[in-house]
Chain A
């Protein structure tokens, strides 16, 4: 890759935009394996509450996380727009339940700002930053932190 191309590549972060609790979140497309509609879920006992269970993703048993609950919102309700985003990070494959997933955008890297002190009055480590795109505010997630189970046991920690 030539230097210019690399810079151009670096300039924009191609991201999937999804909706959760009326806010818009973004995560890099490179992590996303697929986006599925809602499927039957089998509950797994003895796992954190936001892990809704496992489901059959074309023959692969895949764990599924309710992102709303993970972020401390109320649990999901299935609507026509509810989607499962299949995330592939390192060796881990999980599904994320989101309210809707509808857009792919290029986020210029220079518009990404570290998360401001106050977003919905909480400060959490899994938010990578925010980006303002025209009149939209996208919250960029640090997916590895989102999947971090140790953190997750008490998902809603505020820092003073």
Chain B
């Protein structure tokens, strides 16, 4: 179906507009006097209305239409923004969102919005503008002679513009023959004629009613055209079964609702809304708040994945070619292969970059959420976001949203105290929640910090012992940070009462698991009474990583560079024994040694060598040294899974295909450090 093609576009764009509505509403709440923001909201609402009407989602269109009316009143200084209005507006946006989600899931986007519409109406009529709705109601009630009743904002501005551009506005009344059988067909023919002559702005009754023949014998149309009255009349009369056509000039100003006095302004706004699409592309300095968009196209993520897969194959073949060229010592071939290597290197960067999206995609829903939560919990807080432009692989972005929501909810629910408590503690009544994202090396860090109560160590210990997470004896050996990490264990919830915001006790371990499944880690810093910091470390990308290739006898293993601190070669004499375990003194620290040969049961007898090659790896603040035979070198590799048959192989996180076509296994260093 053709419509499906557009449905995707519609859904994507609707989501964007709803997001923009959300963020601008938040802004408006902070600066109610800013008309630019109102205009932005108006524009989004307007586009959304147009799109949903075109797609036939009437409820969506109705609701946005009402929103538009309220906003228009605000824009024209008929209404003062207050928190009630903002609340209702947020409510409306929520409804819009749920309708769009319904559509995404294959529904028809229908939802009972009458309550909200009534609220919006009430707001709208709270001040002097009773015009639009009242008139509409009247015109419905007294539809004996069909005349154009009221005009909405959009129609008025179009008509006003048409006058400015020397078009004529006509009110065309068409009377059908008494015995006309196919009224809808005639209507259709009349419309077709009129659309050749100009543009139909409005009809009375509305088109859908005309199509269903829900009218007597006449109907009225508002037409913009350059033709003169006679020509129009004659053309319409050519349609059979038309008894009479009355055409009169239509004066916009008589019919315009009182709200639209500010003509010039309306005109320019209208242009804005029509051009908003081009604006986004061309006019970047339009407003300081306009979204940062450049010329873009939407590409299905599947296609990018397919591209990535193909490229991975290319990388593998490239490696093979390099080897062949190296062994053949054919200079021309070598040159060509080198050139190809450079190009494919660039290509790799581009493809990887294509999959990167700013983390703003995840962050942008938080201001709204925080506001709502703070309101629900009667807490005051401010959210500050830094580094929203930080880019991450698409796959990671898709997964990281839920864990972050969890952490933020936790911070607000358990972290930030009530204003009274904060006052007592001598803190500002308003709590602060900071979201910070930044790149560092091959990783992206996301930090969530609050200046709330912090983690109560005693409580955590008590709870952990109570839940059997740790034993009494263990307590003494735990450092502060280890105690904090306990709250990430499963079945842990320190909130005394279970609230519906957080505290079901299933929370933080899920967060931890999700992050670890993405190859990341989470750490907690907290000072009791001062606040907490949750730091999440994530890999930049999931598909191509840098590794150190090492050899153990004849087998090759890849160790992710991200977990390596350094490599060293040590003399056998330096190895000490503690508790029957091999350890070394590494820069003043005792580091346990792990022999890959033993762990992986590499076949062949172990030779006693004088020197050992060692890779020092780190997991959190723990270190270990891996004994290998030789270092091969650093390499960019494509990460592949072992498939569904081999799951949970100890200390192996995946595999990769090397230049010679052979498979090398990737070490899971997290599993090696306990």
Contacts and interface: CB of A to CB of B under 8 A. Distances in A.
Interface string A82-98: 00000000111110000
Nearest to A55: B663
A45 B646 contact: no
Given A54-B663, A56-B657, A59-B313, A46 B649 contact: yes
B657 A61 contact: yes
Nearest to A44: B649
A23 to B, nearest CB: 25
Contacts of A90: 644
B165 to A, nearest CB: 61
Interface in B188-243: none
B316 A42 contact: no
A158 to B, nearest CB: 26
Given A40-B662, A42-B664, A45-B599, A61 B316 contact: no
Nearest to A94: B645
B84 interface: no
A91 B641 CA distance: 13
Contact of B555 (A42, A47, A54, A94): A42
B655 A54 contact: yes
Nearest to A91: B644
Contacts of A94: 643, 645
Given A42-B662, A42-B665, A44-B646, 8 more contacts: A40-B661, A42-B663, A45-B649, A45-B651, A46-B650, A51-B646, A56-B663, A60-B640
A56 B556 CA distance: 14
Contacts of B640: 60-61
Interface in A67-101: 90-94
A17 to B, nearest CB: 24
A141 B380 CA distance: 68
B652 interface: yes
Contacts of A61: 640-643, 654-657, 663
Interface of A: 40, 42-47, 51, 53-56, 58-63, 90-94, 147, 149
B641 A63 contact: no
B309 interface: yes
A45 B664 contact: no
A59 B309 contact: yes
B360 interface: no
Nearest 9 pairs between A and B by C-beta? A45-B600, A42-B663, A61-B655, A46-B650, A61-B640, A63-B645, A91-B644, A92-B645, A63-B646
Contact of B643 (A53, A59, A93): A93
A45 B641 CA distance: 15
B599 A63 contact: no
B662 A44 contact: no
Contacts of A58: 313
Interface residues of B, number: 31
A63 to B, nearest CB: 5
Interface of B: 309, 312-313, 316, 555-556, 599-603, 640-646, 649-652, 654-657, 661-665
Nearest to B310: A59
Interface centre among A45, A46, A47, A63 (most CB of B within 10 A): A45
Contacts of A54: 642-643, 646, 655, 663, 665
A93 B644 CA distance: 7
A53 to B, nearest CB: 8
A35 B395 CA distance: 34
A52 to B, nearest CB: 11
A80 to B, nearest CB: 21
Contact of B642 (A56, A59, A63): A63
A74 to B, nearest CB: 17
B643 A63 contact: yes
A111 B145 CA distance: 86
Nearest to A42: B663
Contacts of B603: 43
B650 A59 contact: no
Nearest to A48: B646
A35 B494 CA distance: 57
B80 to A, nearest CB: 60
A65 to B, nearest CB: 8
Contacts of A45: 599-602, 649-652
B477 to A, nearest CB: 30
A98 B510 CA distance: 44
Given A59-B309, A59-B316, A43 B555 contact: yes
A44 B643 CA distance: 13
A44 B309 contact: no
Nearest to A58: B313
Contacts of A149: 645
B652 A44 contact: yes
Given A51-B646, A59-B316, A93-B643, A42 B599 contact: no
A54 B644 CA distance: 12
17 contacts: A42-B655, A43-B555, A44-B649, A45-B650, A45-B651, A45-B652, A46-B601, A54-B646, A59-B312, A60-B640, A61-B657, A63-B645, A91-B644, A93-B644, A93-B645, A94-B643, A149-B645
